[in-house]
Amino acid sequence: MHEETLQYLILSSVEGLGCRGVHRLLDTYRQPEAILRATVTELAAHGVPEVVGRMLLSSTRRVQAESELASCLQGGARVLTLADSSYPKLLKEIFDPPLVLFCKGDIECLNHHCVSIVGSRRATPYGVNVAEKLARELASRGLAICSGLARGIDTAAHRGALEAKGKTVAVLGSGLSHIYPRENKKLAAQVEAHGCVISEFPMNTSPSPQNFPIRNRIISGLALGTCLVEAAEFSGSLITARLALEQNREVFAVPGNVTSKTSFGPNLWIKQGAKLVQDWQDIVEELPRPVKEQILAPLARSAADTQPGLFPMVLTSAEKCVLELLPADEAMPIDRLLETSQMSSSELLAVLFDLELKDQVRQLPGKSFVRKF
């Protein structure tokens, strides 16, 4: 297995060959070992340019592959190849599955039933609330949540799954040694501890812009369906939705305000036939029947659906008053809350603190607050 891993690392490292080029060669040669035993002339007969063939068969490639494997082991990562039994089964079904996956965390969750949640990096409070709520409710019912660890909707999706103590998978557009964005390093560590962080890029690959559209096929390919929550007209999340459709997976979209730029993508997809999502059940209803029954059966046996959380939903009259003042789709500054609630500053801050503990409100930068769904 060690030798086969090195062979896949060699094949994945040659510029000018690419993932699809290697897959075409594997269709002919069947095994990576056979490709590496071929001559430059034989490879050229299968469409591999001579310069690329020479690079592929160069002895330095093996040295580089050995170095990369050592770097992975040193960094606590594991390399999954297409031949590995732990390689995600759903991902293997797409047109161009990655030859290798560099992984940190629980690789078993890569084969869990999964839903991807993606969207704008510049998410509104509404979008963040919706993404967190959907991820939390789906994860609490046994579905893994996949996203890209980006700012905005991706971050909210991972956090929602973690709040439910569920599984979540983060797919990077960089190597595992370069967490991007930097402010999500702590979140990446939490995902690793309760799920898996993966990348098809070598450990020390920097987060170059061209990497992110490439990794999007993995986000959609791991999942039974992809849910779009807020995306502007040229958002990369629209690429993920399109890839999900091409991979014959379900596409879901959360509707938004027609005057909001971030609602353009989901609203357009709904017009074009994507399933409109208002709650977690809208997603589960479209999943394969065995998965749907597995999730809904426990609910049928129980009259009450237990909402995950650390605190019972018992609110004081002051807390109810503040909640009624707070919108769920936009943040309200503390000074406006003071004015409308007619509470003293110390009283209002105490109420808001308790509501945060009860997971009813979220504090945003600039001392603003938004009600959670």
Tell the residue number behind the tokens 């990446």, with chain if given: 188
Q: Are residues 341 and 278 in the same domain?
A: no
Rg of the Cα trace of the chain?
Answer: 23
Beta-strand pair 250-253/332-333: unpaired
Q: Are residues 114 and 190 in the same domain?
A: yes
The rounded distance, in Å, linking the Cα atoms of 303 and 306 is: 10
**pLDDT tens-digit profile, the chain (373 residues):** 589 999 999 998 888 888 889 999 999 998 999 998 888 998 888 888 888 888 888 888 889 999 999 999 888 999 999 999 999 999 999 999 999 999 999 999 999 999 999 999 999 999 999 999 999 999 999 999 999 999 999 999 999 999 999 999 999 999 999 999 999 999 999 999 999 999 999 999 999 999 999 999 999 999 999 999 999 988 889 999 999 999 999 999 999 998 899 999 999 999 999 999 999 999 999 999 888 888 876 654 443 444 444 445 578 888 888 888 887 667 888 888 888 888 888 788 888 877 887 778 878 777 888 887 6
What is the Cα 286 distance to its own chain's centre? 19
Number of residues that this document lists for the chain:
373
- Parent domain of 348: 317-371
Beta-strand pair 225-229/114-119: parallel
Q: Is 216 helix (H, G, I), strand (E, B) or coil?
A: helix
Last residue of a domain, one of 250, 273, 301: 301
Q: Are residues 54 and 146 in the same domain?
A: no
Residue 86 belongs to some domain of the structure = no
pTM for the whole structure: 0.81
Last residue of a domain, one of 276, 301, 326: 301
